[in-house]
Amino acid sequence: MANDTGLRFMLLGLLALAASLFFGVLSAFKFLYPEFLEALPFHKLRPLHVSLAVSWIFLTAIGGVYYYLPNLLGLALFSIRAARWHFWIFLVTGLAILGAYLLGQFGGREYWEFPPVLALPIFLSWILFAVNYFNTVIQRRSAWPVYFWMWGTGIVFFLLTFAESYLWLFPYFRENMARELAVQWKSYGSLVGSWNMLVYGTAIFVMEKISGNEAMAHSKMAFGLFFLGLFNLMFGWAHHTYPVPFAEWVRNFAYFVSMTELFILGKIIWDWRGSLSDYQKHRFRRPYRFLFAADIWVFINLVLALIISVPAFNLFTHGTHVIVAHTMGTTIGINTMILLGSIYFVLEQRDTDSALQTVSGMADHGYWLANGSLLIFFLALLVAGLIKGTYSGGSFGDMMASIEPFLLIFAVAGIGLMMGLWMVLLPALRRIYSLVFSVTARNPMRVENGQKTNL
Ligand code: HEM
């Protein structure tokens, strides 16, 4: 059985991103003009957008793990059949969730708004993934690189926090509001930590392969990032639980850990960039650029995180568009840029024909359009959030009128971001599609110390 499961996950991830962007733009206009497109109200569009965006992150990170282990790390998958099952369960459940949203069948909690019964196949498919992953990496007898630890931790903690996010099904939690809120937001905070582990592991893997420097994945700095991420996964949720009353120092400490984690990630990418030769930068031009963009967004988000963690600012910004800027700034600027880097790394290291090159101009223009639009998008959200947070004038309607121009800028920049990312993902989509569905295009290449060799 051909082992192209990793590519299939990536293909599905790209489709999820394309659709998420479309629903994101519709949501932004719907928020401004509620009478537009009456069949799709904001309460349907938002979960469609957010669930597809979160699926893009998970699908592409999972695709990388399934692709890299057998193709670039020389570890045969423990069970290709289990990986295939994982893929099909994800696909069928995903379609059922989209159908439920479109039909207005909700019943879950924020972020998992679909009927709770659909959580069961997701949970089961992750057990398959966990068993497959650990039985595969256990073949590696020498010291594990940091990304093995990161991927493994991300997988285990996803299972734990996903289960936790459904504790509200038990009356003990559901019937006490403070208890339900505390558990709910705690689990979401940790869930973000679990996907960050998968994504940061992918970033370090790609950096190691481009530079050919295996020492970086065993370095103290990389393990420092892992342990901070682990700590953040377990305790960083404290700054996600605003409505829950608890000691201020706990929240501040959680902020401190999250920011240190971001800082170390930024520093690792920065040092890696400095260590590359011109040949390496050119040979893997697109993944290099995406990681460069992720690095810049790490520092931009770090500045925003510093500002919103100051209690005086937090008072104004909490519950405003500033927080949406923070969420989308990190999920687009950092996670999405790293994952696009991973996809283009796969393509550039195995491409022997001109399939990717002929459309590469489009991806390069898309890169600049996406990043430029994201900056405007991010700033517009910040200004809208600050005006809302500090507004002391008349009615709610007056306040909304004063932020409307910025929300319009946000929505228009959203179109630019969508177009830019579509231009990036379309060539990748076509190429991966041809790799998965055309036998002649299967020609995996292995990267050793920045050089490629046939497998
Ligand atoms: C890679 C692309 C994107 C990702 C990963 C992403 C991710 C997210 C996430 C995680 C949220 C939830 C935020 C929260 O609860 O705080 C969100 C909300 C939202 N996104 Fe996106 N997004 C993307 C692109 C876009 C685009 C292009 C637009 C178009 C303008 C957009 C518009 C929105 C809107 C309107 C909301 C709801 C905000 C609210 O409830 O106030 N997103 N997005």
Is the pLDDT at 447 greater than 50? The verdict is no
Question: Counting atoms of ligand 1 from 1, which one is nearest the CA of 336?
Answer: 1
Looking at the CA of residue 326, tell me the nearest atom of ligand 1.
16
Measured in Å, residue 49 CA sits from the centre of ligand 1 at 7
Residue nearest atom 22 in ligand 1 by C-alpha distance: 328
Ligand 1 mean position, distance from CA 85 (Å): 30
**450 or 288, greater pLDDT:** 288
* Beta-carbon contacts of residue 116 (< 8 Å; ≥ 6 apart): 107, 108, 166, 169
Distance 141 CA to ligand 1 centre (A): 42
The 10s digit of each residue's pLDDT in 52-95 is 999 999 999 999 999 999 999 999 999 999 999 999 999 999 99
Mutate to test the pocket of ligand 1, among 199, 328, 376, 404 (most ligand atoms within 8 A of CB): 328
Q: Which residue has the higher pLDDT, 247 or 356?
A: 247
Q: Which atom of ligand 1 is nearest to the CA of 335?
A: 5
- The residue whose CA is least distant from atom 26 of ligand 1 is 24
DSSP string, 246-297: --HHHHHHHHHHHHHHHHHHHHHHHHHHHH--HHHHHHTHHHHHHHHHHHHH
Question: What one-letter code names the amino acid at 411?
Answer: A
Atom of ligand 1 nearest to the CA of 28: 35
pLDDT at 451 over 50: no
Q: How close are the terminal C-alpha atoms of the chain, in Å?
A: 17
For residue 324, the ligand 1 atom closest to its alpha carbon is 16
pLDDT score recorded for residue 395: 79
Per-residue pLDDT at 372 exceeds 80: yes
Mean pLDDT to the nearest integer, 151-171: 92
Q: Express each pLDDT in 225-234 by its tens digit.
A: 999 889 888 8
- Determine the distance separating the centroid of ligand 1 and the alpha carbon of 50, expressed in angstroms: 6
Decide if pLDDT at 349 tops 70.
yes
Grade residue 238 by pLDDT with cuts at 50, 70 and 90.
Answer: low
Q: What is the mean pLDDT of the chain?
A: 88
Handedness of CA 150, 153, 154, 155 (dihedral sign): positive
Position 92 scores a pLDDT of 97
189-223 residue pLDDT tens:
888 889 999 999 999 999 999 999 999 999 999 99
Q: Which of 215, 323, 212 is CA-nearest to residue 277?
A: 212
Nearest CA owner, ligand 1 atom 21: 24
Give the residue-averaged pLDDT of 94-115. Answer: 87
Helices (H), 33-118: 42-72, 80-102
pLDDT at 128 over 80: yes
For the cut 50, the answer to whether the pLDDT of residue 303 exceeds it is yes
The structure's pTM equals 0.92
Place of tokens 């009927």: 115
In the prediction, which pLDDT does 453 show?
Answer: 38
Q: What is the pLDDT of residues 261-279, one digit of tens each?
A: 888 999 999 999 999 999 8
